[in-house]
Amino acid sequence: MPSNNAVVALGGGRGLASVLRALRSADIPLTVIVSIAAAGDDGGDGRQRFTGPVGDLRRSLEALSDEEGALLHAIQRPVTVDGVGRHPLGDLTLAAAADALGGYWRASMWLGEQLGIDGAVLPATVDPARRHIEEVEQAQTGAVLDGPAHRVRRLRFVGDPIRSPEAAIAAIRHAQWVLLTPGALYQSVLSTCAVPDLAAALSSTSARVVWIANLEPDPCEAPNMTAIDHVHLLRLHGVRVDVVLHDPSATLTFDPEELATIGVDSMARPLRSPIDPGTHDPERLRSVLTALLAPHPAGTVGGG
């Protein structure tokens, strides 16, 4: 059975950080899961191998931390190490702690305790993984995207068998809500949610899986894709979506009736910043998420 209103947030980048800032003051059991996968075409020099792709781990810990804490300011500070280069101290600390404690998930839990955060920040994979994006014919995938030339970009993980921490799998299985946060579709969202163990947990959890949609199309990662294409692409990668939370005034526009035809609920709410229309407004996001995540009778999602 799900724990009392437990929430899991998956993603990365600024979108995840915005969601975490919105949830930080809420009295909600929260687990954050982020990718530590590097691009498959990234050669990975000694500096990258030393620190690992742990930026989202550090930034998520920062987002949940006391803004006035001395340790928080320390881990944000860039330092230069001979043979390694210039990195935020938090990245170097996570890498060293992972080596000492036996894994990045243990390192993140330890640093989170030092920062006094509520909840947990976990990597999507036990070890840093590599991701590769390839173009394939839609006929090979069963996809129904409207993209040009009937081709679709598919993400896959390469290397040794990819395993997720048991704590991350259990958090999804026992959550009441799972939030897929906005962000770069391949680099942040799919790199986290499409990890095989996590996608399997998403498919079987009794939680409601809510995708907080991007506000604008991504010209780099998702060119020429419509709003509904995004949902189809998530499903192509085995990522379940029950509800799309979107701003009806956004450039990336969803049709509630079109979502309903594929069994996905629409939740349209004002989310855009009046100052920067390409970003989510923190106060609007906080208000919507607080209402959404408040206890509701079984089967409701807080309105359409």
Query: What pLDDT sits at residue 2?
Result: 44
Q: Where in the chain are the domains?
A: 7-39+123-293
Lookup: tokens for 211? 């995708």
* Confidence (pLDDT) at 5: 72
What is this structure's pTM? 0.89
Look at the alpha carbons of 267, 232, 190, 279 in this order and tell me if their dihedral is positive or negative.
negative
Question: What distance in Å separates the CA atoms of residue 9 and residue 292, rounded to the nearest whole number?
Answer: 14
**Do 99 and 62 contact (CB within 8 A), yes or no?**
no
Q: Which CATH class, in words, describes the domain spanning 7-39+123-293?
A: alpha beta
Secondary structure of residue 7 in the 3-state scheme: strand
3 state SS of 18: helix
pLDDT of residue 277: 83
Distances (CA, A) of 14 to 130, 251, 253, 275: 21, 18, 21, 16
Nearest to 124 by CA among 187, 182, 217, 82: 187
> Mean pLDDT for each 10-residue chunk of the chain (304 residues)?
74 90 83 90 48 84 82 85 81 92 94 91 93 72 51 84 94 96 92 96 97 90 85 94 96 95 96 89 92 68 53
pLDDT score of 298: 46
d(CA 226, CA 174) in angstroms, rounded, equals 33
Q: How far is CA 160 from the centre of its chain?
A: 22
